[in-house]
């Protein structure tokens, strides 16, 4: 028992199956020196009283206060770190105009390492304060600034998966913001992968390099092919955007006479550690290909409301065996919070189910069986994100990392509407998902290390 480096006593919520939230009332969570959960002990277990008697009062024993609850840390499965600098603005144009008018000019500024330092430090701290313990980041085309983002994650204790973006096609990318040529793009990606793998050796929670073609329209065939080969050579994660909007989806069809999914697969970019953002327009055979290759969808419901030209049928894709996690897609989604995105996932799915055009009769308006519950949205923000990345995070179970947020429902700046001393714990879970703000997130732990304390 003495090899536990931290022991937590409290009530926790974690996912079982997608629709199921498991409530662990007054449990003990025993964490080893590597930051992994070694034991979860229920009050009826033999060891329970022994552990409390032996450990209570010691520095390593943490008894949660009344009104506090443990949730797994969130996994943000799709976020553009540089775009934090324009979050909340620039939401008036469709995707391709938005990229050229606002986003490429902003991202080009990350050649300035001081600007990158300022934006990235603020973003990583903000995400942690919002309960996000793992994030899958797009950086920019700049190798140095992308590596700096990985270093900032390493230093602040967040599990960061970071991609140097590749955008080499001179037809689609402006001269002021593109890789100088395909060869350089691939060489710099390889150098970036090697450097981040080296950095990871000294980082307890892990940092990971990610092969990151921005999206098919940004990249030449040679770049896509080379990136697939680099991912295989170094066994890295892969991320991109896939079938996001009407414009993007039809651009790929015109260029390759197939959908994004099959085009990406042809370049070796769909595999177990691939995460594709959006995927709103997947057809049945694309969905099967995702399921077969283990490719995950990074679902970004708030971003989709602005840029996707439709609502993604997540419930159907999930029933067909595709792994799904939740992303903010900053700045197309204008919030650093996965709580906000969990709510939006539920809201958008309800609008898909009911439909939106009131001139149509009810039976013609919507798409049946589309709704998601908050339990499913919570799953996507936690366990689903971990599975998508093939990492042991997002669940409060033995052999998972101690990545958690300790939520205080009694924080005086935002007291949750809980009035009954014996309120049903499932109702408390739902109130947490709908009402928590960063002021309620009292502590955040990643890999057994405390990284936020209010």
Residues numbered 287 to 306 that lie near ligand GUN (CB under 6 A) are: 303
SS3 sequence of 118-141: HHHHHHHHHHHHCCEEEEEEECCC
Q: Which residue is nearest to ligand GUN (CB)?
A: 332
CB of 242 to Fe ion, least distance (A): 10
Cα 280 to Cα 95: distance, rounded to the nearest angstrom: 14
Mask for 311-350, x = binds ligand GUN (CB under 6 A): ------------------x--x------------------
Cβ 403 vs Cβ 376: under 8 Å: no
CB of 111 to Fe ion, least distance (A): 21
CB of 332 to ligand GUN, least distance (A): 4
Residue 349 interacting partner from ligand GUN, Fe ion, none (CB closer than 5 to 8 Å by kind): none
CB of 263 to Fe ion, least distance (A): 18
CB of 349 to ligand GUN, least distance (A): 19
Supply the DSSP string of 239-258, one letter for each residue. EEEES-SHHHHHHHHHHHSS
- Figure out which of the listed residues 9, 80, 265, 371 binds ligand GUN, where binding follows CB under 6 A: 80
Residue 296 interacting partner from Fe ion, ligand GUN, none (CB closer than 5 to 8 Å by kind): none
Cα 14 to Cα 395: distance, rounded to the nearest angstrom: 6
Q: In terms of C-beta density within 10 A (0-12 exposed, 13-18 middle, 19 or more buried), how is residue 23 classed?
A: middle
Residue 244 interacting partner from Fe ion, ligand GUN, none (CB closer than 5 to 8 Å by kind): ligand GUN
Q: Which of 32-40, 95-103, 311-319, 402-410 is the region at the interface with ligand GUN (rule: CB under 6 A)?
A: 95-103
CB of 277 to Fe ion, least distance (A): 5
> Any residues with CB less than 8 A from the CB of 346 and at least 6 apart, and which?
371, 372, 373, 374, 377
Mask for 28-67, x = binds ligand GUN (CB under 6 A): ----------------------------------------
Residue 159 interacting partner from ligand GUN, Fe ion, none (CB closer than 5 to 8 Å by kind): none
Q: Which residue is nearest to Fe ion (CB)?
A: 329
Is 55 or 172 the residue whose CB approaches Fe ion more closely?
Answer: 172
Cα 429 to Cα 427: distance, rounded to the nearest angstrom: 5
Is 18 or 329 the residue whose CB approaches Fe ion more closely?
Answer: 329
| Of 274, 345, 260, 264, residue with least CA distance to 304 | 345
Cβ 106 vs Cβ 82: under 8 Å: yes
Strands (E) located in 121-257: 132-138, 159-163, 165-166, 207-213, 237-242
Tokens (6 digits) for 314: 């997540």
- Figure out which of the listed residues 156, 237, 241, 371 binds ligand GUN, where binding follows CB under 6 A: 241
Residues numbered 163 to 222 that lie near ligand GUN (CB under 6 A) are: 214-215
Say which residue the tokens 């990492």 belong to. Answer: 391
CB of 342 to ligand GUN, least distance (A): 19
Give the 3-state secondary structure of residue 176.
coil
Residue 371 interacting partner from Fe ion, ligand GUN, none (CB closer than 5 to 8 Å by kind): none
| Of 157, 162, 167, 97, residue with least CA distance to 127 | 157
Cα 444 to Cα 25: distance, rounded to the nearest angstrom: 20
Cβ 12 vs Cβ 28: under 8 Å: no
Residue 146 found at the interface with ligand GUN (CB under 6 A): no
Residue 103 interacting partner from ligand GUN, Fe ion, none (CB closer than 5 to 8 Å by kind): ligand GUN
Q: Which residues bind Fe ion (CB under 5 A)?
A: 277, 329
CB of 300 to Fe ion, least distance (A): 7
Q: Packing angle between helix 338-354 and helix 425-435, nearest 10 degrees? A: 100
CB of 80 to Fe ion, least distance (A): 6
Is 76 or 329 the residue whose CB approaches ligand GUN more closely?
Answer: 329
- Interacting residues with ligand GUN (CB under 6 A): 80, 95, 99, 103, 214-215, 241, 244, 303, 307, 329, 332
């Amino acid at each position: 028992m003495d090899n536990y480096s931290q022991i937590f006593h409290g009530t926790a919520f974690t996912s079982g199956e997608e629709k199921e939230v498991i409530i662990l009332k007054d449990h003990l969570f025993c964490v080893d020196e590597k930051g992994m959960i070694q034991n979860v002990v229920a009050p009826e277990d033999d060891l329970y009283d022994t552990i409390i008697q032996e450990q209570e009062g010691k520095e390593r024993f943490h008894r949660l206060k009344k009104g506090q609850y443990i949730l797994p840390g969130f996994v943000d499965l799709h976020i553009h770190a540089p775009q934090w600098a324009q979050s909340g603005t620039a939401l008036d144009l469709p995707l391709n105009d938005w990229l050229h008018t606002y986003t490429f000019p902003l991202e080009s500024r990350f050649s300035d390492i001081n600007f990158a330092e300022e934006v990235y430090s603020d973003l990583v701290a903000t995400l942690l304060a919002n309960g996000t313990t793992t994030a899958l980041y797009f950086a920019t085309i700049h190798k140095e600034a992308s590596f700096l983002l990985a270093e900032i994650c390493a230093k602040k204790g967040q599990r960061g998966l970071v991609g140097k973006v590749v955008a080499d096609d001179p037809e689609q990318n402006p001269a002021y913001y593109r890789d100088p040529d395909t060869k350089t793009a691939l060489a710099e990606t390889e150098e970036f992968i090697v450097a981040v793998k080296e950095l990871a050796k000294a980082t307890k929670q892990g940092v990971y390099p990610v092969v990151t073609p921005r999206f098919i329209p940004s990249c030449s065939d040679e770049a896509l092919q080379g990136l697939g080969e680099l991912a295989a050579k170094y066994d890295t994660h892969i991320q991109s955007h896939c079938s996001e909007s009407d414009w993007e989806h039809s651009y790929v069809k015109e260029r390759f006479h197939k959908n994004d999914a099959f085009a990406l697969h042809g370049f070796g970019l769909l595999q177990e550690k691939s995460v594709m953002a959006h995927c709103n327009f997947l057809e049945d055979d694309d969905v099967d290909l995702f399921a077969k290759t283990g490719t995950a969808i990074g679902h970004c419901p708030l971003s989709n409301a602005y840029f996707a030209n439709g609502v993604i049928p997540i419930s159907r894709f999930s029933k067909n065996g595709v792994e799904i996690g939740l992303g903010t897609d900053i700045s197309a989604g204008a919030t650093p919070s996965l709580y906000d995105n969990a709510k939006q996932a539920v809201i958008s799915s309800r609008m898909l189910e009911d439909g939106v055009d009131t001139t149509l009769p009810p039976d013609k308006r919507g798409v049946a069986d589309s709704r998601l519950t908050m339990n499913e949205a919570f799953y996507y923000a936690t366990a689903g994100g971990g599975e998508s990345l093939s990492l042991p995070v997002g669940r409060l179970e033995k052999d998972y990392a101690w990545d958690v947020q300790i939520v205080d429902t009694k924080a005086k700046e935002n007291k949750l509407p809980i009035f009954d001393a014996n309120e049903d714990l499932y109702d408390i879970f739902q109130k947490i998902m709908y009402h928590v703000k960063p002021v309620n997130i009292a502590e955040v732990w990643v890999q057994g290390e405390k990284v936020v304390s209010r």
